[in-house]
Structure 1
Amino acid sequence: QAPENVVADRTVTVEFITQKGDGISGEFTSETKRVKVHPGEITLVHFFASNPTSSDMITQSIPSVTPGEAARYLHKTQCFCFDQQTLLAGERKNMPMIFYLDPDIPSHINQFTLSYTIFDVTERVAGKNNSVAAN
């Protein structure tokens, strides 16, 4: 549910940082490194991930917000981080993220960083599937 009002006379800078967990050999980047948004404004940014290996991979991206206080005012309406993402062997994937900032974001928060770390969870997911099959 998007807010009904946009605070047009205020901007907040959101920076995007991507990191790769152990075992991720491919690319994981954000198309946009920094964006200025008005609180209440719906914003779309794109992230890209690639799997240069010859095996399919299942990934999970974990978000982190700095300063932590800003996390309460960041609302994602669509995010690749909501679900595990399958990257086929050799695939390059566009992963959109749509967000808005709560119009009530405190005035002292005029910039924050949203960081994503991508992890390879293929073995963990395969282990779950095998244990379910065994029961």
Structure 2
Amino acid sequence: MQREQENRKVLKIGLTVAVLMVGFGFALVPLYDIICDITGLNGKTGVLAAQDVRETAVDHTVVVQFDGTVNSDLPWSFRPKQFSMEVVPGKLYHTEYIAKNISTDDVTGQAVPSVAPNEASIYFSKTECFCFTEQLLASGEEKNMPVTFIVSADIPKDIDVLTLSYTFFNKNRMTTAEKQQAGNANHEKI
């Protein structure tokens, strides 16, 4: 009888710990997003609507470099149309990337963006981006993928170069961590 009570107690404790661990795991996602938004970690960028852009007088420029890669599971080629652009902070700019499906099958990809250096990410906002949604390319299809962005006029003058980088993943073969990161990118509209 005593052993049965001890077993029930251990079972209750074990179940309670398991439920708390699962709950903690789910609580980490919004906590991670909040920390990334505050610190600019993980290349998270701000969100800005095109109508919210204000022209401001700025006496310096910033070089924005563009980079594009694909995960090895994605049979695409992907690259920026231009590799860098000199921008005036506070003004809206537009660029494009080119993606091509080089396989014999239709493939859905998801882009995960990042900005480097990390401290510059809070000054970089996209108003339009292909990374906001999944991209389906038919076999052999090539597509121009637009990005409209602004570098905040508040960017410190010591940050004179930043890099906007995208990695495309095969949506059907993404790991749980990659899906989480892509979901955060879609949720954040970065």
TM-score, with structure 2 as normaliser: 0.62
CA distance in 2 between counterparts of 1:15 and 1:76 reads 15
| AA at the equivalent of 1:56 | D
Root-mean-square deviation (Å): 1.4
Gaps of 5+ in 1: 125-135
How far residue 123 of structure 1 moved from its aligned partner, in angstroms, is 4.8
Of structures 1 and 2, the one scoring higher in RCO (CA 8 A, sep 6+) is 1
Residue correspondences, number: 124
Would you tell me which structure has more helix in proportion to its own residues? 2
CA distance in 2 between counterparts of 1:7 and 1:83 reads 34
Deviating above 4 A after TM superposition, structure 1's stretches of 4 or more consecutive aligned residues are none
CA distance in 1 between counterparts of 2:93 and 2:113 reads 17
Of 113, 119, 129 in structure 2, the residue corresponding to residue 69 of structure 1 is 119
* Paired-residue identity, %: 36
Would you tell me which structure has more strand in proportion to its own residues? 1
CA distance in 1 between counterparts of 2:88 and 2:96 reads 18
Deviation digits for residues 14-71 of structure 1 (CA, Å, limit 9, x no counterpart) = 0011111022222100001000000111110010100021211110011111110111
2:183 maps to what in 1? none
CA distance in 2 between counterparts of 1:15 and 1:7 reads 23
Gaps of 5+ in 2: 1-48, 175-190
Asked if residue 4 in structure 1 is aligned to residue 50 in structure 2, the reply is no
CA distance in 2 between counterparts of 1:90 and 1:32 reads 22
1:27 maps to what in 2? 77
